[in-house]
Amino acid sequence: MNKISLYIKDSIQELQEKVTWPTLDQLQQSTAIVLVATLLITAMVLVMDFSSSQLLKLVYSLFKS
């Protein structure tokens, strides 16, 4: 039990003294970057999905009797 309490105390001390927390502006900027990147990647996947779907429909229609 002593090891657990020592671990928790050390963890709290490290979070308070050694971790550099971002400012609100840095946090908002990072969030905006992640949001924009997520939207761009989603759009790219949507376009690739639609394109491959249309290509497969074309290929299937060529072999349809």
Q: 64: pLDDT confidence band, cut at 50, 70 and 90?
A: confident
> What does DSSP assign to residue 63?
S
Supply 59's token pair: 């290929």
Q: Over the range 42-62, which residues count as b (16 or more CB within 10 Å of their CB) and which as e?
A: eeeeeeeeeeeeeeeeeeeee
Q: Which residues contact 50 (CB under 8 A, 6 or more apart)?
A: none
Is the Cβ–Cβ distance between 22 and 30 less than 8 Å? yes
Q: How many domains is the chain built from? A: 1
Note the pLDDT tens digit of each residue in 10-52: 999 999 999 999 999 999 999 999 999 999 999 999 999 999 9
**pLDDT score at 1:** 78
pTM of the shown model: 0.66
Domain assignment present for residue 50? The answer is yes
